[in-house]
Structure 1
């Protein structure tokens, strides 16, 4: 299968982009759905910002280097990756903070309704943000299994909050169908794109989504803790009242007025002074993903994940797949269940095959096709076969869980 992998790599139209990332020697990196690899252009860009824009031009760079425009400029670059218009997206804060802003805004748009509907097992921060508003008496959390969401959309639901690609399994929701159902019930919809933005085609405009948030450090390769992004449909912007009324979201921030007036556009979602170093790094990653193209990335991702499964089968590895079997029904990942998933994951990491573990028993492998190749798939499954057949994972150092996993 190694020969077959090399043939596939030779015909891969995206193969040249691997050199645009700093992938460590001897590492097969299958965790780009947690933290994307470093684009090779990022260090030089950060040095330019630090030594030149900050070091030499100092505060003048807010104007001369366009720092003040970075959140909107990067948001406009992210917009076509998620099917939005440039003026509907802003890069700012974290996913958690943006969730809080938009859940609050959605509730304010639906007076008399307090229920925010989601599913059990959604990414914790999504559920926690609802719970935080619930403790203030502003929201009521309701969780329904994904096959019961439609019937849970009662006339008390203000907002439906779902993650497009499930973080554990990668299973995709039908965004258009659920958005339509929520609107029919009089509710608004907020999509979390953290595990799909930059990895697979998303069309917020076509499905008439109201709000969305997404992550900058996974498939957009913006670096650890990179700024997130937020989307508000044009038709909703004027009515969006976000609760964190910081000075950068003001219509005239440098007027220094005692009274708050929200910016007329998407800039109203800003809060405090933006982190310029994080935004500068994020812009490099966004530009690179935009250059490659999401459609091409997703097509390769599907081929990589299917080849990975073929290699597992040919090596006689029979793990329980918890991701959908059809590549069109899942995001850019594969997840498997095993009672010793943690130890297996650690044994693989020790060999340089970096995937990740999700409690209690999930082995998760992300496929970031901009820098992965088919030979990586063949080699990763070889290592997995050796770990499983040798019982290597039984070693004490692999089974002992650290405080942070």
Structure 2
């Protein structure tokens, strides 16, 4: 399978880790690219060290929008002027939930599923508490996620905004984004999609699908490194209508005038707040460029092949484990989760042996397979190690 893999050669572009047998956590923290090691060294020496404060006038200030446009083109099906790199996923979620609520005055409900990522749920709960709103919870299957039918039963005339993940962080359920979005729109609400577990591995044409708002992190399949900044997408038609609540100087129309009173910048720049994370954005540039070189359709095809391979190995080698992810590849993202009551006990031994999957409570091991840095043999070695540890 590795010999027939047209993308196998790209593995050489990633930094190797000594003593590693199988890295199966690329959906949580992607491997660094060798190009990023050189980029960071060059930036520190020549841009930061050489140009110093002049760097702001020579391009740093524009980087969140320039890199956002490139990410939108390569991975999000978003025309220029709708994506920006900024803050953390938590902060941009807060901004967009608040902005969406203000754009739907008089509506009192936020819709979200109970299996969504904790940050998404916590943000919604906190905002609802502060503003006296109701959270409408959707119950989803353990191995599934939100569907148009479940959403249709939860939304209504009081729905202001709905927040869902494109790929469920535990089960890997791949939502039908256009269908769910249409359901929320039919109720008069806005919908925000968290793309953290899909960006860079699943094609997501946001413009074509009529998505309102989206966020995502930069350190999973975008390989930006621990704590890499997030991104936000605001559909062009909504940019003049929405007003984000964190009024920092970089989002103002005239940041260097230091004037009295805040006036938001036009367009996507108005959704920025503080000083751009210039160093933190650097590694993302290399992965975005690599995705553009390879093509997201080819990445997705290998992702499906890797997860199919992993499921077959689990069926063969771990008959006592339960697959907690969809078997249908069209409804599955780039990872799978398997459940077993002893998984928590064997994780330390796996990590010590150089086999690095992820654990998700109460009893799930998550196999995150990053297509450009993961081999089929690596997946087999990892699943065999799990079977051996059991």
Q: Is the structural similarity TM-score above 0.5? A: yes
The equivalent residue for 2:14 is 21
Shift of 1:43: 1.5
Shift of 1:270: 0.5
Shift of 1:84: 1.1
Shift of 1:257: 1.5
Bigger Cα displacement from structure 2, 305-314 vs 48-57: 305-314
The equivalent residue for 2:60 is 67
Q: Is it true that 1:106 corresponds to 2:100 in the alignment?
A: yes
Q: Secondary structure at the match of 2:224?
A: coil
1:130–1:140 contact (8 Å) kept in structure 2: no
Give, in whole Å, the separation in 2 of the partners of 1:124 and 1:39: 29
1:130–1:139 contact (8 Å) kept in structure 2: no
The equivalent residue for 1:335 is 337
Q: Secondary structure at the match of 1:206?
A: helix
Q: Secondary structure at the match of 1:323?
A: coil
The equivalent residue for 1:375 is 377
Q: Secondary structure at the match of 2:98?
A: helix
2:198–2:334 contact (8 Å) kept in structure 1: yes
Give, in whole Å, the separation in 1 of the partners of 2:117 and 2:133: 18
1:317–1:385 contact (8 Å) kept in structure 2: no
> Counterparts of 1:252-267 in structure 2 under 5 Å?
252-267=254-269
The equivalent residue for 1:395 is none
The equivalent residue for 1:44 is 38
TM-score by length of 2: 0.95
The equivalent residue for 2:114 is 120
TM-score by length of 1: 0.91
Give, in whole Å, the separation in 1 of the partners of 2:244 and 2:191: 16
Bigger Cα displacement from structure 2, 148-157 vs 365-374: 148-157
Q: Is it true that 1:251 corresponds to 2:244 in the alignment?
A: no
1:307–1:374 contact (8 Å) kept in structure 2: yes
Which consecutive unaligned segments of at least 5 residues does structure 1 have? 1-7, 389-405
1:30–1:355 contact (8 Å) kept in structure 2: yes
Which consecutive unaligned segments of at least 5 residues does structure 2 have? 140-145
- Post-superposition CA distance 1:26-66 (Å, at most 9, x none): 421110111000111112111111111111211001122x1
Give, in whole Å, the separation in 2 of the partners of 1:217 and 1:193: 12
Shift of 1:290: 2.4
Q: Secondary structure at the match of 1:79?
A: helix
- Post-superposition CA distance 1:95-133 (Å, at most 9, x none): 100000000110011010121100112101101111221
Q: Closer, same or farther in 2 for the Cα pair 1:378/1:247, shift >3 Å?
A: same
Bigger Cα displacement from structure 2, 339-348 vs 181-190: 339-348
Shift of 1:23: 2.8
> Counterparts of 1:197-346 in structure 2 under 5 Å?
197-315=199-317, 317-346=319-348
Shift of 1:138: 5.7
Q: Secondary structure at the match of 1:41?
A: helix
Q: Secondary structure at the match of 1:205?
A: helix
Shift of 1:381: 2.1
Give, in whole Å, the separation in 2 of the partners of 1:313 and 1:111: 51
Bigger Cα displacement from structure 2, 257-266 vs 131-140: 131-140
How many equivalent pairs are there?
Answer: 380
